[in-house]
A and B are shown apart, each in its own frame.
Chain A
Amino acid sequence: MTVRRRVPVAAFPLLAGACSYQHYQSTFSSAATEVHQFNTLFLIFLFVCTAMYLLVIAFLIVGLVRRRRANANVMEERRHHESDPLMRSGLIGWSALVGTGLIALAIASFFADRSMASAAADPKLSITITANQWWWDVQYDASDNSKMIRTANELHLPVGVPVRILLRSNDVIHSFWMPSLAGKQDLIPGRENDISITPRRIGIYRGQCAEFCGAQHAKMALIVDVDSYADFIKWWEHQLQPAPRPTTPLAQAGYDFVTSRNCSSCHSIAGTPANGTVGPDLTHLAGRRSIAAGAMPMAEGNLYGWVADPQSIKPGSHMPTIGLEPDQLHAVVAYLETLK
C-alpha cells in the first residue's frame, strides 16, 4: 500500500500515525466503495464542524479580551438590565447560521445514505455470516448446492464485485464491522440483517465484533482477503475439496483422535466422519491466516498452544481444555497442519 502526503502531517504524531498506517483495520482507507463514501462525507462534516468551532472560540476570546473596557453593561455600572443591540442581531444571525449548517449537513448525509443503499442494490455474490460467541461461521451461497462452501473466521472477496452479506446470530447480539471496507451492522438472534461491500483494492483487512457480546468480545476478529477475481475463483475451487487423507503415521494418529474423540462432536471436517456443528469448520484450517477468530496468527507453535490450552489464550471460550497427552497433542497438531 502506498503512503502519500506523509511529510506535511509528520509534525503531528497522531495524525502521522493515522495516515502512515497501512489501513489494515482503519477507517482512513479507500479499500471499498462504502468506506470511500464514508470518508468523503466525514470530511464534509469535519470541515463544517471545525469552522463552527473556530467561530465559537473566536467569540469567546474576543469576549474575554474586551473585559477591561470601561462601559460594560454590568451591575457595577447599574446597567445590567441593558444589552448590546449588536448581540441581538448576532443571535438572529447565529440561529440562521446554525440552522443552515445543520440542514446542509442533514441533506449531505441523506444523499450519501441513499447512494450507499442504491450501490448495494445489485449484488453479484451472496455470503451468509452467522455469529457465535466468539467466532464467525461463514457460508458462501451458490445456486448449485454442490458449489456451496463453508469456512470460519475468514472471508475472501473478489475485487470490484458487489457482495451482499446476510447476517445472523446463534446466541447474543454481535456486530459485523470491517472498518477499512464498510460501516457496521448488528447480527441479532431471531432477525436477519445484511450489509453490502464493493471492495476496490486488493489486500488483507481485519475487522472485529463491535457489539459487546460477553467474555471474549475483544477476541472475535475476522480476516478479509480481497483477491483478484481469478485468485478468488481458485480459492473457492480449493475450498470445495474435502480434507486430504493423512499420509504420515503421526498425522494418521491425529486423524484417528480428531474423528473419534472429543473434537468431532463440535467440529466438522469435510470428507471425514467429523461432523459437529457447534464449533468452526476445520476442513481448510491450516490454510487460514489466524487461529480462534483472530486471537493468534496461524503458525505451528500457536496451533500447539491453542489445542493444548485454549482457556489460557481465550478465557471463557467454549473450546474446552481437554488435557491431551504429549503424543496425542503432537498427533493432533500434525493432522491439523495437513488441512491446508
Chain B
Amino acid sequence: MTEMEKVGAEDERLARERKKLARDGPKLTGAKLEARLDRAWHRPPGILGWLATVDHKEIGRRYIITALIFLALGGALAALMRIQLAVPDNNFISAQRYNELFTMHGSTMMFLFAVPVMEGVAVYIIPLMLGTRSTAFPRLNAFSYFMYLFGGLMLWVAFALNIGPDIGWFAYTPLSGPQFSPGKRADVWAQMITFTEVSALAAAVVLVATILKTRAPGMTLARMPLFAWAMLVQAVMIIFAMPAVALASSMLISDRLVGTNFFNAYEHGDALLWQHLFWFFGHPEVYIIFLPATGFVSVLTETFCRRPVFAYPVVVLALISTGILAFGLWVHHMFATGLPRVGYSFYTAASMTVAIPTGLQIFCWLATMWDGRPRLQVPMLYVIGFIVTFVIGGLTGVIIASVPLDLELHDTYFIVAHFHYVLIGGAVFPLLGILTYWFPKITGRMMNETLGKIGFWLLFLGFQLAFFPMHFSGLLGMPRRVYTYPAGLGLELPNLLSTIGAFVVATSVALFVVNGVVSLYRGAIAPPNPWGASTLEWATSSPPPVYNFAHIPVVESRTPLWDVAGELPVVTGLRVDEKELLLTTVVAAAPDLREPVPQASLWPFIASVAVGVFFISSIFSPWAIVFGAIPCAIALTAWFWPKEIKRHPEPVIS
C-alpha cells in the first residue's frame, strides 16, 4: 500500500466511525434530544458532584451568592464605622478595632465583592448570551471559584480570631512592613491578595477565551452584545493589572518573611516603590469594577428603551480606550508624595482624558432613551439612578485630577464621597438592576416589582443622604481613616447625616435580599423572555437546561430575538453522547472546531485546597514554600494528566 492509499483508507474508516456518532440534527430533536443532552451534561449527584461540577451556571451562582454575602459583611462593618463617627469623640469602637474595620471593609468590598460579583455574573450569563453550552476551560473556572472562596474565608476567619489586618486596603509600606506591623495581621492581608489574584486571573482567562472562541456562528465581533465587549476589555485588563499587585504583594511577603528590605528606606529599599506597583494595579482595578457595570447599563438601556444602544461602535471604542487609559493614571494617587511636579501635569491630563470615553458612553445611553421608549420598570430605575449618581462621581473625579485641587482634597472625606459615588452609583446600582433583570433567567421566577421600587428609592435617597455630606466633611478638613474627630470643627452635622443615610442604605439592601428570597419561592413563574429582550440568553428556558441550548443558534444581527420572527435558525451536528462545544473564529465567528468539554472533576477542588494550604502556611514559615509546593505539584499533575482521547478528526462544519 502506498502512503496515499494508507491515508485514503484511514479517512474512509474515520468517515464510517463519524456516521456512528450521535449528534443533534433533523433526525434527533425535541424531547428525545433534550433527554440525551441532559444525560451527557448532567454532573454526578451528591456532595462530591457539587465539589466536582464544571457547570458555568452553578459556578456563576456560587460566585454571585458568595460575593453578596461578602457585600453584607462589608456593609455591616461600614455600619459599625458610621455608628462610631456619628458623634465627635465617640468611644463606641477602639482605635485599633476601627483600623481593622476600615481595612476589612475596603479589602472585602474591592477584592471579595466588587470584582468577583462581576465575574460571577459574567460566568453565568456570558455563555448564554453568546449562544454556547459552557465556558472555555470549565475546570479552571471551578478552580477560580474555590481560590476566591478560600481567600475570603481566610481573611474573615483571621478577623474573627483577632488577627485581621489593620493596615488599610492599600497596605502602604513601611507601615505594613516587618518593623511597624509585627504579628501576622499584614501577612493575612497580603496572602488574601494572592488568593484573589490567582482567582481573578483564572476567571479572566476563562472569560477571554469564552468570548473570543465560543460565540454562536454569525455573532461577529461587530454583533457581539455590549456586555460581552465590556467583559472582554475587563478580563484583558485583569490580565495586565494583576501581575503588578502580585509582584507587590510577593515583595511585601518576602520583606516580612525573609527580610528582603525591598521597601525599607534605611536598607537602600524604597517606601514609594510599593505605591507605584500597588496603584499600577489599583487604578485599573476601579475600571475592572466599573466596565462590567457599563455593560449592565448597556444591556438594561437596550431592553427597556426597546432599541439597541445608540452608536454601538462609539460605545465599543469608549470601552477599549477606557481600558487602555486606565493604565496611565496611577500617579494621580500619589500627587502628595513629592514626585517631580511637571511630570504630575501629564497625569492630570491623562486623568481628565478618561472623562471623554466615559462622557461619550453617557451620551450614548441618554441618546438611546431619547430615541427609544423607556419603560420605567425596576431595572431601568437603577439605570436612571446610575446616571444621576455616577455623573456626580465622574465630575468630582475631574476636580481631583487637578494637582492643586487634589493636594487639598486627597485623603479626605471628599475622596470618600467621590469613590462611593463612582463605585456604588457606578457599579452597585447597575448590579442591583441587572440582578433584578437576570433573576428570572437564573431562578425561573420574577422579583416583586413593588418591593423592588421601594428598595430602589430607599437606596437612592439613603445613598445621597449618606455620601453627599461627605463632600463637606472633606472640605471642612476631615481626613480619611480617622477613628474619631474633635467637636467644634463643624463636622458634627455632616457626619450625623451620613450615619443616618448609611442605615437607610442598609435597610434597602436588606429589602433587596428579602425580595430575592421571597421571590425565589413565591415569585411569578418567568417565561423564557419576560422582558422582551433581544439577546440569546432569553432564547432558552428560564432557568436554562444544564446544556443551555438544544441546538446552537445562528446569529444574523445585533439584536437576534427582535429581528427573527419565530424560531431562531440553528446549526446542528454537535455530539449528544459527549459534552461538546462549537468553537468559532475570533472575528467573523465562522464555525471552526468541535471541542470536547471536560467532565466534572474533583481535581480543581483538590488543587485549590493544596494551593490554599501552601499560601496560608507560608504566612508562618518560608519552608512552607518548599514543602507546600509538593502537594500543589501532585494535584496539578493529576489534573493535567493526559487522558486517552478517541480521535475523531472532523471537517469544518459548514
Interfacial residues, chain A to chain B (CB-CB below 8 A): 13-15, 17-18, 21, 24-28, 35, 37-38, 41-42, 45-46, 49, 52-53, 56-57, 59-60, 62-64, 66-69, 72-76, 80-81, 83-84, 87-88, 90-91, 94-95, 98-99, 102, 105-106, 108-110, 112-113, 116-117, 133, 167, 171-173, 175, 177, 179-180, 182-186, 188-191, 193-194, 206-219, 294, 315-316
Contacts and interface: CB of A to CB of B under 8 A. Distances in A.
Contact of A25 (B374, B408, B489): B489
A26 B476 CA distance: 4
B482 A218 contact: yes
B493 A63 contact: no
Contact of A56 (B341, B391, B477, B480): B391
Contacts, number: 292
A46 B306 CA distance: 36
14 contacts: A26-B475, A62-B370, A63-B370, A80-B307, A91-B360, A113-B402, A133-B180, A171-B174, A183-B406, A186-B337, A188-B337, A190-B271, A212-B411, A218-B484
B407 interface: yes
Interface stretch (B94-102, B538-546, B566-574, B622-630): B94-102
Nearest to A214: B175
Interface string B431-465: 00000000000000000000000000000000000
Contacts of B99: 212, 214-215, 217
Given A66-B370, A74-B373, A212 B336 contact: no
Given A27-B475, A53-B391, 16 more contacts: A35-B408, A45-B405, A64-B374, A66-B370, A73-B372, A87-B310, A94-B360, A99-B356, A109-B403, A109-B405, A116-B404, A171-B179, A188-B265, A188-B338, A217-B99, A316-B95
B412 interface: yes
B426 interface: no
B477 A179 contact: yes
A180 B374 CA distance: 47
Interface string B166-202: 1010001011000110000000000000000000000
Interface string B456-499: 00000000000001001001110111111110111001100100
Q: When A and B form their complex, which 7 residue pairs have the shortest distance between CB atoms, in order from nearest?
A: A190-B265, A183-B407, A63-B369, A218-B482, A193-B338, A109-B402, A25-B477
B514 interface: no
A275 B467 CA distance: 48
Interface residues on B, range: 35 or more
B347 to A, nearest CB: 11
Nearest to B403: A113
| Chain B, interface SS category | helix
Interface stretch (B67-75, B392-400, B590-598): B392-400
A315 B95 contact: yes
A83 B168 CA distance: 49
Given A38-B408, A49-B395, A171-B174, A188 B363 contact: no
B562 interface: yes
Nearest to A183: B407
B286 interface: no
A105 B398 contact: yes
B374 A173 contact: no
B395 A53 contact: yes
Contacts of A108: 402
A94 B489 contact: no
A43 B83 CA distance: 33
B399 A217 contact: no
B345 interface: yes
B369 A102 contact: no
A213 B265 CA distance: 16
A188 B370 CA distance: 52
B124 to A, nearest CB: 25
A42 B399 CA distance: 8
A95 B372 contact: no
Contacts of A15: 472
Contact of B490 (A17, A67, A188): A17
B372 A41 contact: no
A95 B359 CA distance: 8
B367 interface: yes
Contact of B180 (A24, A91, A214): A214
B641 interface: no
Contacts of A73: 307, 371-372
A88 B392 CA distance: 25
Contacts of A13: 493
Nearest to A15: B472
Interface string B87-118: 00000001110010000000000000000000
A240 B306 CA distance: 79
A113 B374 contact: no
A106 B352 contact: yes
Given A106-B352, A113-B345, A191-B265, A46 B271 contact: no
A102 B308 CA distance: 29
A26 B490 contact: yes
A57 B360 CA distance: 15
A47 to B, nearest CB: 11
Contacts of A62: 370
A90 B367 contact: yes
B562 to A, nearest CB: 5
B374 A67 contact: yes
Contacts of B360: 91, 94-95, 98
A177 B395 contact: no
Chain A CB within 10 Å, residue with most, of B94, B404, B534, B559: B404
Most chain B beta carbons < 10 A, residue from A26, A209, A316 = A26
Contacts of B341: 113, 117
A18 B472 contact: yes
A173 B392 CA distance: 31
Contact of A188 (B271, B482, B483): B271
Nearest to B395: A49
A26 B408 CA distance: 10
Contact of A173 (B174, B376, B387, B557): B174
A190 B270 contact: yes
Contacts of A87: 310-311, 367, 370-371
Contacts of B391: 53, 56
Nearest to A51: B395
A167 B344 CA distance: 20
B362 interface: yes
Contacts of B609: none
B338 A25 contact: no
B353 interface: yes
B337 to A, nearest CB: 5
Kindly name the residue among A57, A189, A215 whose own CB sees the greatest number of chain B CB atoms within 10 A: A189
A38 B408 CA distance: 8
A133 B179 CA distance: 13
A80 B306 contact: yes
Counting chain B CB atoms within 10 Å of each CB, the highest count among A81, A175, A188 belongs to A188
Contact of B373 (A67, A109, A218): A67
A335 to B, nearest CB: 28
Interface in B257-274: 265-266, 270-272
B525 interface: no
